[in-house]
Amino acid sequence: MLNIKDYDNSYENKWCPGCGNFGILNAMKDAFVKLGKYPHEILIVSGIGQAAKTPHFMNCNMFHSLHGRALPIATGAKIANHNLMIIVSSGDGDCYGEGGNHFIHAIRRNIDITVLVHNNKVYGLTKGQASPTADIGVKTKSQPNGVISEPFNPLHIAISLEAGFVARGFSGNKEHLSILIQEGIKHKGFSLIDILQPCVSFNKMNTFNWYKKRVYEIDETSHDMFDYQKAIKLAKEWKDKIPIGILYKNNRASYTEQISSIKDVPLILQKRRIEKEIFL
């Protein structure tokens, strides 16, 4: 019977003790087990950063790509084999900074992948520079007088572009995060789960306790996930109260569903037509 240990491997994990990434890693394994997905059925694609090391610590298919380039790799893999379950594990710098343009166009195409962004508001791998989501006034080694640029709001951007599934999780709430990951995977289309992930080494403001005092779960019984305006309002809520849960959904067709030549049979299972045309 499938269990969490089926996703373990022997690769040494060097994340800092107490890192928020551990909560995300455990929630991913829990979600995969509850969905009944075996390691050979999963591909995790990552870019560069501490979050991008996540697939190193799991027994499944993986592709560790260039900085900010996880989404194009995942897009290509999905077009080649849309039966494969594809997860992108990225950080806020990797996905919203270096990969920002890919982020926009993956949403526009509605590629059927699940994107987990470990959002700690810093570049943790390179020791703590401000990332695109850092709040105004936050001081770092490279911004000693404080950040002056407006923070990037990924949820607002994703909803504005009509992403199919937009949610926010918290790495300190593994059970809730596991449910969000399961729902994101089951959604047929682009799924974004922005995950509040405290960096214990380089972000001394947005700590576990800071988040625990502010995060609250969206009441799914009263929140209409298909209501665009309410979702935008939730996406802008920050500071004293921070909502976690599914903010927005829509059911527009995914990219591969709209391509008649591959929607029924994955590209990898089709005959090599070009080769036949050339040599016969």
Position 86 pLDDT exceeds 70: yes
Task: Give the pLDDT score at 10.
Answer: 92
Specify the 3-state DSSP secondary structure of 231.
helix
How many whole angstroms separate alpha carbon 132 and alpha carbon 262? 37
**Chain segment 164-212, per-residue pLDDT in tens:** 999 999 999 999 999 999 999 999 999 999 999 999 999 999 999 999 9
Give the pLDDT mean for 126-135.
92
Give the pLDDT mean for 8-32.
95
Read off the pTM. Answer: 0.94
Give the pLDDT mean for 85-107.
96
Task: Give the pLDDT score at 127.
Answer: 87
Task: Give the pLDDT score at 273.
Answer: 61
**Chain segment 41-79, per-residue pLDDT in tens:** 999 999 999 999 999 999 999 999 999 999 999 999 999
Position 276 pLDDT exceeds 70: no
Position 214 pLDDT exceeds 80: yes
Task: Give the pLDDT score at 141.
Answer: 86
The mean predicted confidence, pLDDT, of the chain is: 94
Cβ burial 124-156 (10 Å sphere, 16+ → b, else e): bbeebbbbbbbeeebebeebeeebeeebbbbbb
Neighbouring CB atoms inside 10 A of 116's CB total 30
pLDDT band for position 29 (50/70/90)?
very high
**Chain segment 39-49, per-residue pLDDT in tens:** 999 999 999 99
> What percent of the chain has pLDDT above 90?
88
Specify the 3-state DSSP secondary structure of 168.
strand
DSSP-derived secondary structure letter, 50? S
pLDDT band for position 277 (50/70/90)?
low
